[in-house]
Structure 1
C-alpha cells in the first residue's frame, strides 16, 4: 500500500489519510498488499454510511429477520464446552452448565477461544500456532457525552497531529503504549439526532494499540487526558468541563466480553501470508460438523467481511448437510 499510495500522491496529509486505515488491518503500510487499497475506495468512492439509531439497528434488523424464519435466540448463555463423540462429530454443547444436543455448531466467537472448548486432540491449531500469528490491533475506546454542541469537528474526524510511522512502530515492531498516538473521533449526533439530546453531543474516541498490552484504569485516564487536550487545542474550544458521561473499553474488556485472543479488536492481520486460504479454515478438518465464521477466518476482519464469512459458512453447511 505504501508504494502504491506514494507513487501517485505527493501531499503528506493525503498520504497519511490513505495509509491510516491500514493500522486496523494488522500491519504497517509497507507490509500490507496494495489490494487492500479497496478500503480507501469504499470510504472515499462509495461513501461512509450510518444506520439511523446506530450500528445496533443492523443487529436488530438481522435478529428480526431470523426470528421471522423461526430462529430462537438464547442470550446471556455462556458456552462452556463443545462435546464430540467417538467419531469426532459434535454431539452437543454445555451452556451455563446445561447440556444441549446439537446437529452441528457454527461458531462466530473468537476462533482460538472456540477451539479451547474442544478436547485437545480435535483442535486444529495449537497454542504455538496462535502465538506465531500476527494480529491486528486492539483499541482503547472512550464513549463520551458533552452537554453542548462541539465545533470544528465532523461526524468522522481523524487526528494526525503526531507521527504516523512512530505510532505504527509502537503497534507492530516494538509493542508498547504510544507516546503521542494518532486517534479517530466519531460524533454521530452530528448526523443522527437519536444519539444525544438537543444541544448535546455524543462522541466515540478510538486509539489503535498493540494487542496484549498492560491495561489499567490509570493508563486509560492518562490517554484520555492526552487526546482531549489535543482535541481542545486543535479545534480551538474547551470541552473538558462539559463532559457529563465517560466510559472506556480496552484490552481487558475485549478479553472479558469477547474472549478475544490477547484482547485484539480486529482479528488476524491482513498480511500476505494470512490472506484468503492462508487464514484459519471455515470448516474444521478434525470435527465433521463444526464450522467457524467471523473476523479470524475467511475473508477477514471488518463488518462486511464478517458478514461475507457468515454467507460462505452457510453455503458450505447447506452443501455438506
Structure 2
C-alpha cells in the first residue's frame, strides 16, 4: 500500500508541475472533507485550525459525564453522506452506526397540542388529516412535488458550480420544464395549500435551520419537507461529532496533516498569487490555499484590500442567517415528555421571524420559538445513566448586544416556558450548565456579526448568487463551507468541498476520477 501511495504521489507531482502543497484554513466539515478528498489524490495537504480539534461548529463540549455536540444536531439527506463516502469506496456505516429516529421529532404548539412527526409517512398523512379536512391528501401531493424537485435539484443543481447566469439558466432542471416557482415565497406556497396553523408551521419550521424566514425563502425549498418526512431523520451513534471524527480520520489515513490551536493571521499574496499562510506560530508555504474559515473574516481580516473579492460593503448588504442562544444543560434525571428532537412553536410565528431577520426589529425575544435536542434519548454515551443532556437553541438576530444579563433573562423565560409545557421541574436538576451566544460565535469561530450559520437562503443568495468558490482576485485561492453554494448545513458543506476540490484538481490538470 505504501508503495502504491508513493507511486501515485510522485505521478501527480510530475503532472502538476509542483502545484502540490495545499494549505487549508479551518478544520470544520468543509476543511476536513476537502483535506480527505485532496489527500486521497496524493496532494500534500496541511490544515491549520484555530481551535482545539476538528469539526468547526461541530465541536464537542464535555463536563461531568455529559457530552454535547455544540453545533449541528440533525442528520438529514443520508444520500449526500453516502455520495461523499463513496469517493473513498466506503459507506457511512463503515464508520458509524445510523439509527432512524421514531418519532422523527416532536412538536409542542403554543395552544397546548403536542404531536409527533413520524418516520412512517402513513402516520403523517393521518396526522395532517387531524389538522384539516383532506390534510393527508394535501400532504401527499405536497411531498410528491417536493420529491420530484429534490431529485432534479440533487442531479442538476447541487453538485455543480455556478460562474454566470447562463450556468444557472442552462441546467436541465429548467430545460425539462420543471416549475421552480422561484419568485414565490415558501410561506405563500404553503399557505395556498394548507389552511391549518399546525400544518403550515410543520412545513415551514426547517427554514430556521437554513437561516431564513419562510416569507423570504424561495418556494423551491419546500424540498426540505421531502428531506425530513420522506428520506427520514437519522442519528449517528456518538453524535454528529462521530461523523466529523470519521472524516478527520479519513484525511489522516490519506496523509493530510493537521495543526490545531494555531490561528491564521494572514494570507500572503504576491503578484496575484497566494504564496503562504502566516499564523501566530509559523509560516506555511503554499501552492494553493483553500479557506474553510468564516468567509467574510477571511476576506476582510486575512487579505489586503486589493486582493478581496468581496469588500465590507458587500457583506454589510447581505442578509445574514441568525445567530443563536444555546444552553447546554446536564440534568440528573430523565425528562420523560421530551423526545430526541423537540420543536416549541409560538403562535405569533411571523413576528418572531421579524425579530430575527429585520434589523429594525431585532431584539432578544420575550416569547421565542425554540428547539430542544435530547441526544441522550438515543445515545448512551451522551449522559450518565438516569440523566439527560439538553441542548436548547433559540434563534437570535446577529450583531446584537450580548451580555450576561441578557443571556440569563432569556434562559429564565425559556425555562419557564419549557417546564410549563412539559409539566416537569428541570432547573432544580441541572448539574451542568453552559450558555453559548452571539459573542461566542464571533470569538470562537470568527463568525461575522456572530452569525451561527452564515448567509441566509434568500432568492438573491442562492446558487449563483452565493459567494464564489474561487477568488476573483487571487489565482490560487479557493473557498469551501456554508457561505458558498449549495449553502447551509453539513450535507451542503460536504457538497461544497466536492465541488471546489474538483475545480482545484481541474486547475491543476488532475482528473478527479483518475
State the TM-score, normalized to the length of structure 2: 0.61
* Residues 26, 134 of structure 1: 8 Å contact kept: no
What is the correspondence of 1:53-202 to structure 2 with a 5 Å cutoff?
53-85=238-270, 87-115=271-299, 116-173=301-358, 174-202=361-389
Q: Residue 4 in 1 paired to residue 4 in 2?
A: no
Deviations 1:186-206 (A, max 9, x none): 001001111011110001000
Correspondence 1:312 to 2:499? yes
**Residues 366, 410 of structure 2: 8 Å contact kept:** no
Asked if 1 retains the 8 angstrom alpha-carbon contact of 2:366 and 2:413, the reply is no
1:39 alignment counterpart: 224
Q: Which of 271, 275, 285 is the matching residue for 2:462?
A: 275
Per-residue CA deviations over 1:158-190 (Å, capped at 9, x if unaligned) read: 011442111111111221112211000000100
Alpha-carbon distance, 1:42 to partner: 0.9
SS in structure 2 of the partner of residue 300 of structure 1: coil
Deviations 1:243-300 (A, max 9, x none): 1111011100110011111001111111111110111100001100000000111111
**Residue 210 (structure 2) aligns with:** 25
Residue 95 of structure 2 is matched in structure 1 by none
Q: Unmatched 5+ residue regions in structure 2? A: 1-185, 509-514
SS across alignment from 1:195: coil
Shift of 1:24: 3.5
Q: Distance in 2 between matches of 1:206 and 1:217?
A: 17
Displacement, 1:108?
Answer: 0.5
Is residue 26–residue 271 contact of structure 1 (8 Å, CA) maintained in 2? no
Distance (Å, rounded) in 2 between the aligned partners of 1:315 and 1:2: 36
- SS of residue paired to 1:143: strand
Structure 2 partner of 1:220? 407
Are residues 1:251 and 2:438 paired?
yes
1:205 matched to which residue of 2?
392
For residue 193 of structure 1, give the secondary structure of its aligned residue in structure 2.
coil
Q: Select 2:447's aligned residue among 222, 241, 260.
A: 260
Residue 232 of structure 1 aligns with which residue? 419
1:285 counterpart = 2:469? no
Q: Tell me how far 1:38 sits from its aligned partner.
A: 1.3
Structure 1 segments unaligned to the other structure (5+ residues) = none
SS at match of 1:145: strand
Distance, in Å, in 2 between the alignment partners of 1:26 and 1:64 is: 30
- The 3-state SS of whatever aligns with 2:212 is coil
Which residue number in structure 2 is paired with residue 303 of structure 1? 490
Shift of 1:64: 0.8
- SS at 1:73 equivalent: strand
Distance 2:212 2:434 in 1: 28
Q: Provide the secondary structure at the position in 1 that maps to 2:306.
A: helix
How many residues were matched structurally?
320
CA contact (8 A) 2:262 2:281 kept: no
The TM-score, its normalising length taken from structure 1, stands at: 0.97
Give deviations 1:26-77, integer Å, cap 9, x for gaps.
4321221011111221111111111111111111101111111011111111
- Say whether the 8 Å CA contact 1:80–1:97 is kept in structure 2: no
Contact 1:21-1:39 within 8 A present in 2 as well: yes
Counterpart secondary structure, 2:259: coil
- More deviation in 71-80 or 26-35? 26-35
